[in-house]
Structure 1
Amino acid sequence: MRTDPEETSLKSRIPWHSGTFHVIIASSLMGVMGVSLIGPVLPELRPAFGISDAEAGLVITTYALPGIFLTPVIGLLADRFGRKQLLIPLLFTYGVSGGAIAFTTNFTIVLVLRIFQGLGATALAMLAITLIGDIYEGTQRDALIGVNGSMIGIGAAFFPMVGGVLGGIGWNLPFLLYGIGIIVGMLAIVLVDVPAQNESRDDVRVYLTRLFATSRSPRALAIFAALFATIFVFYGAVIIALPLLLSDEFGLGPELIGIVLAVVSLSNAVTASQYGRISQLRSGPELAGLGFVAFGLGLLMIGVAATILLISVGLLAFGVGIGLFFPSIDTIIITDFSEELRAGVMGLRTSTLRLGQTIGPVVFTGVAEFFFVETVNGYRVILFVVSVIVISLGSIIYVLLRR
């Protein structure tokens, strides 16, 4: 049997033997677990705590809220004091506060603990990508960004199914899994080995001046706008609105909702796993623009679909778009911005994502509840309108992100 030289070369660039790389992947998975694990359980929280759709959405909003303000600060600290020094306490905070939610019956305490868990999760994915940029170079770096995105996609597909099964037994069981963050934190202490950082650092004032100037460039603003739009739609439409729609209109329980949501993540994982090869054919900006259009088309299909099968096809297209978009954006940030500002720019990236995560659920559930008699109809209309806007903006973003 003949072996494809290109495939052999690609596999050789993946450091599966590296403990540092294992922790990088695990940290990214912890970040995505924060939301995807409990997405199918959101409908179960309503009777458990006697809350509305909008209040259930606060479980996502409170988790995302700390990242809006704190991620840029963590990026600054990571640039000045080291990635590992920040990664370890964040993992412990994430694991302790997230696991503790399983033991409360007070919804206010749930929200408070989600804030602390969100604090721990603020920069997990950001630091993972930053470490890849610090340690690896060239085509290996591009391949590992794709592998990292693929593993995130696999986790995002796996976690809803696990959360759905556990949530069918009890609403609180999925939250116990967040305690794995404590284990990953202990492994990070032993396994993570990072290269020494450049000692010639600017003082804080000069650093912030450079970072602020970089973040105001047209290219950076286009990247942040695209990131915000993507995550706003993803969390508002797919993570929040779709599970509630599947529960209320199609009568699906958390187990089946988890399976349906897994489609988008599996599609994302497969696409991202091939990013190392795809990036050799098209530039990062081109792929980011194409990804944006792809998940806009997927969202349109979800909004008009009358069957679970058609919704799944829409999620498939949505996942392809995500699998192209995020690795492309991460590659652009790593290659286009100074190494001394890398964690800071990644921090602004993550802060933008957190802003979209915070606002998306509130907007989608709020509009559906306050402007429509039946929330099911509201979600349908919102999904259709937003998909048209996303598709329209896709071409504009494509032009702005091109060199």
Structure 2
Amino acid sequence: MNKRKILLVLGLSAAIVSLGQSLYVPLLPDLQRDLHTSLSLVNLTVTLFTVAMAVMQVVLGPVVDRSGRKRILIPGMIIYVLATIGCMFSFSIDMLLVFRVIQGIGAAAVPLVAATMIGDVFEGEKRAESMATYQMILGISPAVGPLIGGLIGSVSGYTGAFGFAAASAVLIMFTALFLLPETMPTISTTTGKRKQLGLKAFGRIFQSKTGRVLLLSGFVLYDLFYTFIVFLPTILASQYNLGAATIGVFSLVLMAFNLVGSKLSGKLQTKIGSVKSLFWVSFFIVASLVIFVFAAQLSLITLLIALMLTGFVSGLAMPVMPTLLSAEFVQERATAMGVYNFVRYLGMAAAPMIGSILYPIGGTALLIGVTAAFVGVTAMATRQLLPRKSEQTA
């Protein structure tokens, strides 16, 4: 079993499927015109896809734990491909909305199974490094998706963008079919019997101190990251009167440094451990956010440097949570990953809602300051997971 090849296939599978979220975003105005619909309904096609993905994480988690990883992955990708083709040939907004929901349902299986299989295949330090590499590959998709969609859409419209998404998903699906093994643990390491999974699995996750802290950390971290994605254009336009093209460069810088941080996260976890990594990186994130508040007022250069720092340290944190969840919940691994994915999607969704309340009241200082406070709370919560001195010397 070539573990590196498995990691690459899993990372590319999740990245290609996640193109369904970002690939056609630049083409929303064209979509509105071609389907003779409203902007709100066009935006709903993005929302419904994300909601379907989020909800199905929780639904599919126990199924993956009971039935197998690959056995759920391939049907999920088939559903995604068929729904994407349906989106491609949709001639009305109602038809597109239906296929976007189905597309999200199929897509949900891929990141869930990918993170779970990485937890199955790799152990210890290799698991941390592999999760970091996976997070980096997955992060490429939202960075380049709008660019690819814009290039394809300028030639063949939104149908071409969906066609590209379907074709690339078919290629990676057949690659996964032939190269990925089934990795589900079938025997409990403690009882020698296969566990009966269901609602008890959810209870174990929420009753665990580790589970609660990691879910809180995931929610806050992705709320933080999407706060920058959503409000960075507003900050740059209002304070420095930048145009869309320049704002796009700043957003790309944020994504790029986040990917670098994600890749280096594995090395950091290997050196000091995953829990210590999350604890100390959380404080560095708070520091970077405080720096950003002041730097944003000074000059565009200081804002850019603070943005690089924030992207980098948040990238260091992102692979830590799935790494720790994989180690803590072995028999319930997919269920834990599903709950975690659902919670981080909630964090993404909460960012624009919370920000729309805070930013009009207090601008950048209040928006980023409150976010820093949230991260500070998670840092103190993470402290509970650090081994005590007596445990370290035992």
Give the structure-1-normalised TM-score.
Answer: 0.78
d(CA) in 2 for partners of 1:244, 1:224: 29
Which of 189, 207, 222 is matched with 2:177 structurally? 189
In the alignment, what sits opposite 2:328?
Answer: 336
Contact 1:291 1:324 in 2 (8 A): yes
Sort the Cα spacing of 1:108 and 1:230 in 2 relative to 1 into closer, same or farther, 3 A: farther
Sort the Cα spacing of 1:237 and 1:395 in 2 relative to 1 into closer, same or farther, 3 A: closer
Moved more, 30-39 or 299-308: 299-308
d(CA) in 1 for partners of 2:312, 2:333: 27
Sort the Cα spacing of 1:383 and 1:245 in 2 relative to 1 into closer, same or farther, 3 A: closer
Sort the Cα spacing of 1:116 and 1:354 in 2 relative to 1 into closer, same or farther, 3 A: farther
In the alignment, what sits opposite 2:254?
Answer: 264
- DSSP-derived class of the 1:281 partner: helix
In the alignment, what sits opposite 1:252?
Answer: 244
- DSSP-derived class of the 1:123 partner: helix
In the alignment, what sits opposite 2:388?
Answer: none
How far did 1:130 drift? Answer: 1.0
Letter of the 1:203 counterpart? Q
In the alignment, what sits opposite 1:198?
Answer: 186
Sort the Cα spacing of 1:140 and 1:351 in 2 relative to 1 into closer, same or farther, 3 A: same
How far did 1:300 drift? Answer: 7.6
In the alignment, what sits opposite 1:65?
Answer: 51
In the alignment, what sits opposite 2:317?
Answer: 325
Contact 2:265 2:317 in 1 (8 A): no
d(CA) in 2 for partners of 1:177, 1:308: 37
How far did 1:343 drift? Answer: 0.9
Letter of the 1:131 counterpart? M
d(CA) in 2 for partners of 1:189, 1:107: 33
How far did 1:394 drift? Answer: 2.0
- DSSP-derived class of the 2:244 partner: coil
How far did 1:327 drift? Answer: 0.9
Letter of the 2:110 counterpart? L
Letter of the 2:376 counterpart? S
Letter of the 1:285 counterpart? V
Q: Does 1:223 align with 2:221?
A: no
Give the structure-2-normalised TM-score.
Answer: 0.79
- DSSP-derived class of the 1:340 partner: coil
In the alignment, what sits opposite 2:190?
Answer: none
1:168-183 correspondence runs (5 A)? 168=154, 172=158, 173-179=160-166, 180-183=168-171
How far did 1:291 drift? Answer: 4.3
**Unpaired segments of 5 or more residues in structure 2?**
188-192, 386-394
1:99-138 correspondence runs (5 A)? 99-104=85-90, 106-138=92-124
How far did 1:50 drift? Answer: 5.8
**Unpaired segments of 5 or more residues in structure 1?**
1-13, 372-376
How far did 1:349 drift? Answer: 0.6
How far did 1:55 drift? Answer: 5.4
In the alignment, what sits opposite 1:6?
Answer: none
Letter of the 2:275 counterpart? P
What are the Cα deviations for residues 278-337 of structure 1, in whole angstroms up to 9, with x where unaligned? 113333233334444555645984894698766654542332133112111111111222
- DSSP-derived class of the 1:145 partner: helix
Which of 380, 386, 389 is matched with 1:399 structurally? 380
Contact 1:298 1:313 in 2 (8 A): no
In the alignment, what sits opposite 1:28?
Answer: 14
Which of 287, 302, 310 is matched with 2:277 structurally? 287
Q: Does 1:98 align with 2:84?
A: yes
Letter of the 2:374 counterpart? L
- DSSP-derived class of the 2:174 partner: helix
CA RMSD of aligned residues (A): 3.5
Which of 365, 369, 388 is matched with 1:388 structurally? 369
Contact 2:3 2:121 in 1 (8 A): no
Sort the Cα spacing of 1:250 and 1:327 in 2 relative to 1 into closer, same or farther, 3 A: same
d(CA) in 2 for partners of 1:241, 1:343: 33
What are the Cα deviations for residues 241-298 of structure 1, in whole angstroms up to 9, with x where unaligned? 4467778964425xx6654432222212212222222113333233334444555645
d(CA) in 2 for partners of 1:298, 1:136: 33
Contact 2:120 2:184 in 1 (8 A): no
Sort the Cα spacing of 1:325 and 1:32 in 2 relative to 1 into closer, same or farther, 3 A: farther
Sort the Cα spacing of 1:317 and 1:112 in 2 relative to 1 into closer, same or farther, 3 A: farther
1:340-355 correspondence runs (5 A)? 340-355=331-346
What are the Cα deviations for residues 154-192 of structure 1, in whole angstroms up to 9, with x where unaligned? 333332332343455565143333212222222222111
Sort the Cα spacing of 1:312 and 1:34 in 2 relative to 1 into closer, same or farther, 3 A: farther
Contact 2:23 2:148 in 1 (8 A): yes
Sort the Cα spacing of 1:384 and 1:31 in 2 relative to 1 into closer, same or farther, 3 A: farther
Sort the Cα spacing of 1:140 and 1:184 in 2 relative to 1 into closer, same or farther, 3 A: same
In the alignment, what sits opposite 2:389?
Answer: none
